[in-house]
């Protein structure tokens, strides 16, 4: 027997996400009991267990916090990516004050990495690309 149909607000609360997330999932192909239409009483109806199963099949673990786990995985790679981009920008820069700005480029990279750490990202470690910029005099 399937679970009773829930409206968007009820489904969002049961899944621990926002209504906007549920709408996005529907647009991405999540199953619905009845698609919504305009007008009073025309809201989308959802089977929460079917949504959880669909989310699990999409690579999410089907529980609140799955999006946070995915975000932490993305955050883990950001410091290296930021360091590489800043080093590349420095290499592409030109002008008489390029060498004088090398340490400023490195400081900017570390500041960005500290912001990521404050948002729950990985602890900031020495990044070789930024350390190389710090060493330029």
| Number of Cβ atoms within 10 Å of the Cβ of 23 | 15
Cβ contact 26:8 at 8 Å: no
Residue 105 pLDDT: 92
Cβ contact 12:21 at 8 Å: yes
pLDDT in tens, the chain (137 residues): 456 788 888 888 988 888 888 888 888 888 887 776 565 656 788 888 888 888 877 766 545 555 666 777 777 888 989 999 999 999 998 989 999 899 999 999 999 999 888 877 788 889 999 999 999 87
Q: Which DSSP state fits 46?
A: B
pTM of the complete model: 0.50
Residue 3 pLDDT: 61
Residue 128 pLDDT: 92
| Number of Cβ atoms within 10 Å of the Cβ of 111 | 12
> Which stretch of DSSP H or E encloses residue 114?
helix 98-118
Q: Where are the domains of the chain?
A: 8-57, 66-134
- The C-alpha atoms of residue 15 and residue 17 are separated, in whole angstroms, by 6
Residue 42 pLDDT: 60
């Amino acid at each position: 027997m399937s679970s009773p149909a829930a409206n968007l607000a009820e489904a969002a609360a049961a899944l621990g996400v926002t209504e906007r997330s549920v709408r996005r999932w529907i647009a991405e192909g999540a199953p619905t009991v009845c698609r919504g239409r305009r007008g009073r009483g025309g809201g989308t109806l959802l089977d929460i267990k079917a949504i959880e199963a669909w989310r699990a099949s999409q690579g999410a673990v089907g529980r609140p916090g799955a999006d946070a786990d995915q975000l932490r995985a993305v955050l883990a790679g950001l410091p290296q990516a930021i360091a590489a981009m800043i080093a590349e920008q420095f290499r592409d820069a030109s002008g008489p004050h390029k060498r004088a700005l090398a340490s400023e480029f490195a400081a900017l990279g570390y500041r960005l990495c500290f912001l990521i750490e404050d948002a729950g990202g990985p602890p900031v470690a020495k990044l070789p690309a930024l350390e190389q910029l710090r060493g330029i005099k």
